[in-house]
Structure 1
């Protein structure tokens, strides 16, 4: 084990040699005859302890230790002095500039023991700092692991997150999204409420190189103004009333991962200013901190507002809009991608019957026709609620009949416009398309297509005759 390095300072050569003989056996000893010479050594060598005389020409021992504290703040500082200077030294000790004073004439054995005790305390302090740092790093890792596991559990639950689509509009959107996934570029997701913006943000994160790091979603409009700075940037213990411990903010929690700024259009102007600064400098200043912290965070923001109009109205900062509008995408509302309504309905049915433990095989074709014909102003979220309601009301082991559909949905579908035909015609047209699609998917095997539709083989044969479908290639 290497010896600790110490520095001895005295302007008298005889005293310097006596000090050297005292410590040379146990330590690596550096010598200096003046304060200036001592400071140069401190800047170059990892000195653990300084033992200096008080009375020296030029720079006194106390002044040396005061400056040494700036160069080596953790070093042990011992001063050798006469009895007449003790009162003066006590003030220096109280200010933390001197750890211990030894009165002259000093005995080598007593001086060695005094230094040994101070170094022992120094080692304990260093070990405590090391363990505290290890604990801090371990807690940070556990925090990140906790976020990762929580996200994994969410994805495994029946109510887990999954992108479900069949429409051309969503296929084109996903082709765009897949281009930006592997980058660190900021993504701005725009779309009506309930269209699945957070789901899309999670997809970007989960498919990116940051997938093993935290995904932190934050609703920008739901944080009280007085807590915004602490919530986003963290705070130090004692920085304000109630700050009983150091706490990380959203940016630091998302370090090396993704921060999802949900409803960024709702962010108050004072938050917009602070967000802009972080996006520009990639660093945060926790409340009560003296030094800024660097953060490595990918930003994904979403809004149900048209941000360019918000900028024109003075409600959103133009410079922040430019920072966020790096890669902007628009999630189309459900009414413009009706091909997704059936797929989503079946997905929600499967999820609900698992969660509610209710064996409902499928929808009646008329039910799907009604769902497909509705505009869904609340988008995917509203459709999900409607399906759950129908599952609760329906009888087990029976397809969900059209009578289970909410009255508002039935009425809207039945008054959908004369140019599109009446409800009966719409249902028939939709039922016909479902049967043809099922037959196509199952190689024109009537039995398999009937199972997929949740009807009997006799029913599908009857429907083929009813709609005069030419299905000569159908098997079985």
Structure 2
């Protein structure tokens, strides 16, 4: 264990017996440095880290006050004490004003008195140093925390803003994004329409982080399938004892959002009662937690998402017209994935590399023929279906480049159309034409899917289909089925 370092105390007096007396009184508790005049004292100050200086007032050359004044200017943290046999008021005033002394000690002094004074002075020195250190740390931590918060806010705005919504240079989504940017900074409700899985929540999040509310919370609530009671509890909160098992008050997302943004998806499924409650919230900003009679207000911005056409719902009497117009200050329609054929390849690559990083599996990308199949499918499940398919392909892939043989059979068998596959025709029961036409259509799709999955190895494909190589080749020629892109045949 390292020995404790004693605090250093400098005693300055032109009388040797006075210096010896002070050393004897202090040497057990302190490292005592000795000087006979101001010049020697300043030299020792430059060589040692001194916590306390005890100086006689009347000395040849510089007086104690002059010495301590210079020490205060050069080493302001050092605690200064005057020892004097004289008590002239002018000397005391000069010492206080000029030297900033901590204490006067008059001669003759008692050893215990001197020891106690120096101990207190050392403690004062340590406290002053601790205070300075903590002040610097708090200043640094405060500036660091502010810098980190600003950096995090910028990161969120960049990572979750409009740039995070991937689309191609000529994507139909570009016009929607341009309009969303304009409405982002205005505190008005916006209605987002589009099929399930088209990215309405992602667009709403981008609008939030592109607005002046970006430093406030963002919440998403899907209203579909929730009862009025469950929806009210989630949205408005619930008071303690308002329902069985509720032992404490629960805050709703209107309180949690706190001047942030809320996207209410599935707004078309609201009951008449909840429609009226939401209308009051939009008009007055007022609501009541479940089980409470107290009216509260919210400053949250409300965005709404709907899978169905609300204008048609209003015309059919299934949705309040006044609520529709309160929600739809502007209406942004998010196109389905089949309406964004140029975006599928880029989105698939984005999902692939994100999943590869998450699961720690190296990949290079998709082959050209795989991208052709993915782009030719209409993706009725939109973004989520595409993401799930990409993850499934990544899991079963054995090579760094993912080929079409990894794609699910129903996608390979789908007939590519002008805007993706005709999913209705994929069901044999809904096809038009004679029985022969329908059978031939299904035979063609099965042949295409099998050849792709077998990487155009005709021997393996013929064996699986129960055909000879000659018979398989004849059917491929009959239907005009050829390898997509750069798929080579294995003999």
Partner of 1:202: 205
Displacement of 1:320:
0.7
Instruction: State the match for 2:267 in structure 1.
Output: 264
Match of 1:360 in 2: 363
What is the rounded CA distance, in whole Å, between the counterparts of 1:404 and 1:237 in structure 2? 53
Give the secondary-structure state (helix, strand or coil) at the position aligned to 1:316.
Answer: coil
Q: How far apart are the structure 2 equivalents of 1:286 and 1:364?
A: 55
Within-5 A mapping of 1:190-269: 190-269=193-272
Q: CA deviation at 1:247?
A: 2.2
Task: Say what the alpha-carbon RMSD is for the aligned residues.
Answer: 3.4
Q: Distance in 2 between matches of 1:293 and 1:225?
A: 19
Distance of 2:290 and 2:359 partners within structure 1: 46
Aligned partner of 2:380 among 368, 377, 381: 377
By how many angstroms is 1:250 displaced? 2.1
| 1:404, distance to aligned residue in structure 2 (A) | 1.0
Secondary structure in structure 1 of the residue aligned to 2:172? helix
Which has the larger displacement, 221-230 or 247-256? Answer: 221-230
User: Is the CA contact (8 Å cut-off) linking 1:221 and 1:268 kept in structure 2?
Assistant: no
Shift of 1:212: 1.2
2-structure distance, mates of 1:237, 1:154 = 37
Counterparts in 2 of 1:241 and 1:173: CA distance versus 1, 3 Å = same
Q: 1:153 to 1:358 in 2, by over 3 A?
A: farther
Kept in 2: contact 1:370–1:413 (CA 8 A): no
Q: Sort the Cα spacing of 1:245 and 1:408 in 2 relative to 1 into closer, same or farther, 3 A.
A: same
1:270-309 aligned within 5 A: 270-309=273-312
For the structure 1 residues 348 and 187, does the alpha-carbon distance in structure 2 shift closer, same or farther, using more than 3 Å as the test?
same
Q: Which residue of 2 aligns with 1:401?
A: 403
2:348 to 330, 345, 349: 345
Cα distance in 1 between the residues matched to 2:245 and 2:365: 54
| CA distance, structure 2, for counterparts of residue 414 and residue 333 of structure 1 | 17
Aligned to 1:318: 321
1:169 maps to 2:140: no
SS for the counterpart of 1:168 is coil
> Aligned partners of 2:267 and 2:212: how far apart in 1?
24
Deviation of 1:241 after TM superposition, in Å, equals 3.6
Aligned counterparts of 1:213 and 1:266: Cα–Cα separation in 2: 28
Q: Is the 8 A contact 1:232 1:250 kept in 2?
A: yes
SS at match of 2:373: helix
CA contact (8 A) 2:171 2:343 kept: no
Unaligned runs of at least 5 residues, structure 1: 1-148, 424-462, 464-476
TM-score (norm 2): 0.51
Indicate if the aligned counterparts of 1:261 and 1:301 stay in contact, CA closer than 8 A. Answer: yes
- Residue 377 of structure 2 contacts residue 414 of structure 2 at CA under 8 Å; is this kept in 1? yes
Report the counterpart of residue 70 of structure 1 in structure 2.
none
How far does the alpha carbon of each residue in 1:380-428 deviate from its partner, in whole angstroms, 9 at most, with x for none? Answer: 111111111111111133x1111111111111146869xxxx99xxxxx
Structure 2: 5+ residue stretches without partners: 1-151, 423-443, 446-485, 487-491
The secondary structure found in structure 1 opposite 2:226 is coil
> In the alignment, is the contact (CA less than 8 A) between 1:358 and 1:396 conserved in 2?
no
* Cα pair 1:193 1:304 within 8 Å, conserved: yes
2: distance between equivalents of 1:210 and 1:394? Answer: 43
